[in-house]
């Protein structure tokens, strides 16, 4: 999968809610009402990551979970990162309450 151009990245990020560009990464912070809800979310993200063989950086700071995505092989962001960012947002809907 090829690396997106700056124009493509700008357009793709613009279609995502809460995701921010950080160098070669896109980053989002997800907030949970309970610590263990955040952990359940991380488990589902982890299973998906393993199935896709595409692992985001995950940080758990009590009820705040940060996900950070890039495509190492492409040297930057690809359509897969954009698709996964959307998928993570869908998964979050199940655990945010």
19: closest CA among 82, 90, 73, 96? 82
Nearer to its own copies, 3 or 68 (CB): 68
Q: How far is the CB of 28 from its own copies (least distance, A)?
A: 15
Which string of DSSP letters, residue by residue, matches 5-37? PHHHHHHHHHTSSS-EEETTEEEEEEE-SSHHH
Residues in contact with its own copies by CB under 8 A are 35-36, 39, 42-43, 46, 49-50, 55, 57-62
Nearer to its own copies, 61 or 90 (CB): 61
Q: How far is the CB of 56 from its own copies (least distance, A)?
A: 9
Q: How far is the CB of 38 from its own copies (least distance, A)?
A: 9
Contact (Cβ atoms closer than 8 angstroms) between residue 28 and residue 34: no
Nearer to its own copies, 62 or 93 (CB): 62
Report helix angle 35-52 to 79-95, nearest 10: 150
């Amino acid at each position: 999968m090829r690396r997106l151009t700056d124009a493509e990245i700008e357009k793709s990020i613009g279609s995502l809610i809460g995701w921010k560009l950080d160098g070669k990464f896109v980053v989002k912070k997800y907030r949970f009402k309970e610590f263990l809800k955040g952990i359940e979310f991380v488990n589902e993200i982890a299973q998906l990551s393993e199935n896709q063989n595409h692992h985001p950086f995950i940080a758990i700071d009590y009820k705040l979970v940060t996900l950070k995505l890039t495509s190492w092989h492409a040297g930057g962001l690809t359509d897969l990162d954009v698709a996964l960012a959307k998928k993570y947002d869908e998964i979050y809907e199940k655990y945010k309450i």
